[in-house]
Structure 1
Amino acid sequence: MPQPEKSLGNNLPIIRIPGDGRCLFRAVVYGACLRSGEPSPSLSRQRELADELRAKVVDEFIKRRADTEWMPITVVMQDKNSSNLKVIAEYGEEYGKDNPIGVIYDGYGHYDALLKSSLS
């Protein structure tokens, strides 16, 4: 059953991520670094971490392991009518809802990172 949309306002800082075919993974690893208290990664470090994450995700899908530990990720998108951000997907809630990694989808195939790591 779909959950009702959550409006997040429009004042969350967005970190622009390069659109190089790994933007979703870049946005997730950027948020993961901030979530763990690490400094924001350089562009080259983002690329390395994104490629590592993508490889791990592929490996996990291949293995179909049920005991994979994930982290919560919230995907938002800007509402065209109000310019507010709305939650369009939440992943990994079974691993906790505290301090999810935030990414924003532009509606055309690109993801950026949200600076605020705690979405409520």
Structure 2
Amino acid sequence: MARNPSNKAILEQLKHGIADFQIASSPVPSVSSHCPQNAPPAVFLTSITHKFFARIGPSLGRGSPAMKKLERYSVQKITGDGRCLFRALVKGMALNKGVALNPREERENADELRMAVKEVICDNDKERLKYEEALVAITVEESLKRYCQSIGRPDFWGGESELLVLSKLCCQPIVVYIPEHEHGGWGSGFIPIAEYGAEFRKGTKKVKPRNVVRLLYSGKNHYDLLV
């Protein structure tokens, strides 16, 4: 059985950026070495099997900086068929334009988003270079070849890598939230944990300002839409 690393070893791993973090709502006695592909944006993955937990729990209290960022929205549930990230994005972008998608349109548009990521990351060497952050996020966990073999499947879960690509590809600001109760709170609000494509909020010379799409990430590895 592998021994837990010493404090010195932990500090060295933190120093060199190779420590493995996961968010936990309470102390965890053990953890599987498998991590879901749609882990929340704040999670960093490496090949190291021992994981260090950044505890987010009741001890932070309502006076913590994160709790002061509390926001309130309504939740629109998204079908959990492996497309939830892509479904939530297409539904949010459509609603920002005043368009309501029917279930077939939502599914087809979600699959188009998935294939758009595959095209720029896997099928176009020149375009791929524009998404360096996404490439880093992908290859930390697995090889690019393996990723490209997986992303075409309809049950492939999207996560941070796809958010990095799609926010830029669609010129779309995206903010990801977690439920207040997953951060030690007792209410029904939401806390922002990551933002992608922030530059498109105010627009650019070529793109008009875009409304934000707000996604809710739950501890059940699922994305819903906040409106």
TM-score by structure 2 length? 0.44
Structure 2: gaps of 5 or more residues: 1-41, 43-64, 131-167, 203-209
Match for 1:55 among 98, 112, 115?
115
Question: Which residue in 1 is equivalent to 2:217?
Answer: 105
Deviation, 1:46, is: 0.7
Deviation, 1:65, is: 5.1
Structure 1: gaps of 5 or more residues: none
Q: Is the contact between residue 23 and residue 110 of structure 1 (CA under 8 Å) also seen in structure 2? A: yes
Match for 2:171 among 58, 65, 70?
70
Question: Which residue in 2 is equivalent to 1:20?
Answer: 81
Question: Which residue in 2 is equivalent to 1:8?
Answer: 71
Q: Is the contact between residue 69 and residue 95 of structure 1 (CA under 8 Å) also seen in structure 2? A: no
User: What is the SS of the residue equivalent to 1:102?
Assistant: strand
Residue type of the alignment partner of 1:30: K
User: What is the SS of the residue equivalent to 2:78?
Assistant: coil
Q: CA RMSD in A?
A: 2.1
- In structure 2, the CA distance between the partners of 1:55 and 1:107, relative to structure 1 (3 Å rule), is same
Deviation, 1:82, is: 3.0
Distance 1:16 1:33 in 2: 15
Greater helix fraction, Structure 1 or Structure 2: 2
Deviation, 1:69, is: 4.5
- In structure 2, the CA distance between the partners of 1:20 and 1:32, relative to structure 1 (3 Å rule), is same
Match for 1:35 among 78, 90, 96?
96
Aligned: 1:94 with 2:199: yes
- In structure 2, the CA distance between the partners of 1:86 and 1:57, relative to structure 1 (3 Å rule), is same
The higher relative CO (CA closer than 8 Å, separation ≥ 6) is in: 1
User: What is the SS of the residue equivalent to 2:219?
Assistant: coil
Deviation, 1:94, is: 2.1
For the pair shown, which has the larger CA radius of gyration, 1 or 2? 2
TM-score by structure 1 length? 0.80
Greater strand fraction, Structure 1 or Structure 2: 1
Q: Is the contact between residue 16 and residue 113 of structure 1 (CA under 8 Å) also seen in structure 2? A: yes
Residue type of the alignment partner of 2:98: G
